[in-house]
């Protein structure tokens, strides 16, 4: 997908349906102790998904006209894509991070949220994900993002960032890893530079 432009939540809400569609997606993450092979710190469990179109993205989707707010639309989508475990998630405006519009002619505003969970809550969500209405349809599977870099300097996060992502979700991921301090900045910058798209 092409370039996109950030705008404030207030500006984004001026872009009204039916001319504009709104979509909301969320990063769900939890502190995750432990080391891969006893060496590489896992740091956090951060969830993304393999989508129906073969691209990686965050759970979430289009807000419907029936949804009374962006967050109600987001929580409905999370329930459809993550299953019954998402009923207790309650992502709110407090978890809002950013809004973007594409530079091209497409009239879709994307809103992005991030919510910290306990590792136990995140595991419960993973366990129930195959019960989701959209499992095997819109969602081909939940995945955790590798947040470490292996000794070869490529395996782990750099290789992960070389995948194909929907919309601006790669940029959303990098920005969230930085602002939420889920990966040390120097290591993140190296991973990003290596896989510049
Ligand atoms: N950043 C920016 N844009 C994104 C992101 C993201 N992280 N993730 C998805 N999008 C875009 C997609 O390109 C899509 O056009 O937002 C829009 C809605 O997101 P989806 O999660 O794909 O929408 P959802 O409501 O879950 O359902 C998928 O969309 O393409 C249709 O017919 C298809 O019914 C299907 C539906
Ligand atoms: Mg959906
Ligand atoms: Mg979706």
Residue closest to 146 by CA, chosen among 25, 47, 58: 47
Give the nearest ligand 1 atom to 58 CA: 7
- 1 has a pLDDT exceeding 60: no
Tell me if the bond preceding 18 is cis, omega within 30° of 0.
yes
User: What Å distances lie between residue 14 and 1, 19, 147, CA to CA?
Assistant: 24, 11, 36
Name the band, by pLDDT with cuts 50, 70 and 90, for residue 195.
confident
Q: How many angstroms separate the alpha carbon of residue 23 from the centre of ligand 3?
A: 9
Reduce the DSSP state of residue 98 to 3 states and report it.
strand
Per the CB < 8 A criterion, the answer to whether 192 and 161 are in contact is yes
User: What Å distances lie between residue 115 and 31, 131, 141, 163, 193, CA to CA?
Assistant: 12, 22, 20, 24, 27
Model pLDDT for residues 122-166, shown as the tens digit of each residue: 999 999 999 999 999 999 999 999 999 999 999 999 999 999 999
Secondary structure, 3-state, 15-77:
CCCCCCEEEEEEEEEEECCCEECCCEECCEEEEEEEECCCCEECCEEECCCCCCCHHHHHHHH
Distance of CA 96 to the CA centre of its chain: 12
Name the band, by pLDDT with cuts 50, 70 and 90, for residue 196.
confident
Q: Which H helix or E strand runs over 110? A: strand 108-116
Query: Going by C-beta distance under 8 Å and a sequence separation of 6 or more, which residues neighbour residue 196?
Result: none
Residues with CB under 6 A from ligand 1: 23, 25, 57-58, 60-62, 77, 108, 110, 138, 166-169, 172
Model pLDDT for residues 55-104, shown as the tens digit of each residue: 999 999 999 989 999 999 999 999 999 999 999 999 999 999 999 999 88
Model pLDDT for residues 20-68, shown as the tens digit of each residue: 999 999 999 999 999 999 999 999 999 999 999 999 999 999 999 899 9
Give the nearest ligand 1 atom to 134 CA: 26
Question: pTM score, two decimals?
Answer: 0.95
Residues with CB under 5 A from ligand 2 (ion): 61, 77, 138
Residue closest to 61 by CA, chosen among 83, 78, 39: 78
Distance of CA 159 to the CA centre of its chain: 17
């Amino acid at each position: 997908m092409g370039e996109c432009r950030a705008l404030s939540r207030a500006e984004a809400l001026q872009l009204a349906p039916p001319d504009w569609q709104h979509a909301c997606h969320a990063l769900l993450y939890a502190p995750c102790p432990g080391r891969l092979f006893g060496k590489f710190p896992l740091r956090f469990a951060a969830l993304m998904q393999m989508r129906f179109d073969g691209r990686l993205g965050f759970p979430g989707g289009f807000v419907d006209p029936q949804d009374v707010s962006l967050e109600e639309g987001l929580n409905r989508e999370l329930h459809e894509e993550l299953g019954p475990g998402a009923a207790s998630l309650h992502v709110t405006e407090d978890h809002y991070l950013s809004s973007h519009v594409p530079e091209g002619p497409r009239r879709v505003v994307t809103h992005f949220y991030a919510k910290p969970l306990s590792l136990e809550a995140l595991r419960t969500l993973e366990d129930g994900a195959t019960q989701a209405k959209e499992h095997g349809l819109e969602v081909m599977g939940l995945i955790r993002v590798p947040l470490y870099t292996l000794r070869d300097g490529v395996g782990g996060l750099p290789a992960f960032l070389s995948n194909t992502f929907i919309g601006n979700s790669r940029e959303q991921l990098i920005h969230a890893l930085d602002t939420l301090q889920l990966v040390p900045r120097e290591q993140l910058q190296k991973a990003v530079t290596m896989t510049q798209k």
